[in-house]
Amino acid sequence: MLEQNRELLQLIYNCLEPVYYNKHSCISREGEPVDAVLFIMQGIVWKSTTNECKEKTAQFIGKGDFCGEELLDWGLRGSSPPSLSDLPISTVTVETRTKVYAFALMANDLRTIISRRQEAASTLQAAWRGTIMKRRMFQLQVG
């Protein structure tokens, strides 16, 4: 099992692409397709959304966080690899507040990982659920 996890991590690592964004750059817009998950290594990103009353809400994220979670949901739904013609739609606008250095996992690479390794889906799903639980716990403590 440990060897399989190493192989899976190596496969994911090989697919990550370093990306750089200048200060005040738009990474993605609410309502547009999401084609990458960004793992932030340095810098600050602002995620904002508009509710039904046309009010904006924002969340700052930084080193150790990620954005593009809609793509993970897309990649992990169903038992077969998802179609690239059916990318998820972003529910937030993502903009940099500072220069940002991140690693990107592109939709096509996520699809390839999932199609090659069935345990990839369960491993990514478990990591994703753990992240959601940590965020909820933090929100309960803050709120």
HEC-encoded secondary structure of the chain: CHHHHHHHHHHHHHHCEEEEECCCCEEECCCCECCEEEEEEECCEEEEEECCCCCEEEEEECCCCEECHHHHHHHHCCCCCCCHHHCCECCCEEEECCCEEEEEEEHHHHHHHHHHCHHHHHHHHHHHHHHHHHHHHHHHHHC
**Domain of 49, in residue numbers:** 2-142
Number of domains in the chain: 1
Q: Given the DSSP bridges, would you call strands 26-28 and 93-96 parallel, antiparallel or unpaired? A: antiparallel
Is residue 38 within 8 A of residue 96, CB to CB? The reply is no
Which of 70, 78, 83 has the alpha carbon at shortest distance from 121?
Answer: 78
pLDDT number for residue 138: 58
pLDDT tens per residue across span 10-65? 888 899 999 999 999 999 999 999 999 999 999 999 999 887 777 778 899 999 99
Residue 81 sits in a domain whose CATH number is 2.60.120.10
pLDDT number for residue 63: 93
pLDDT number for residue 119: 59
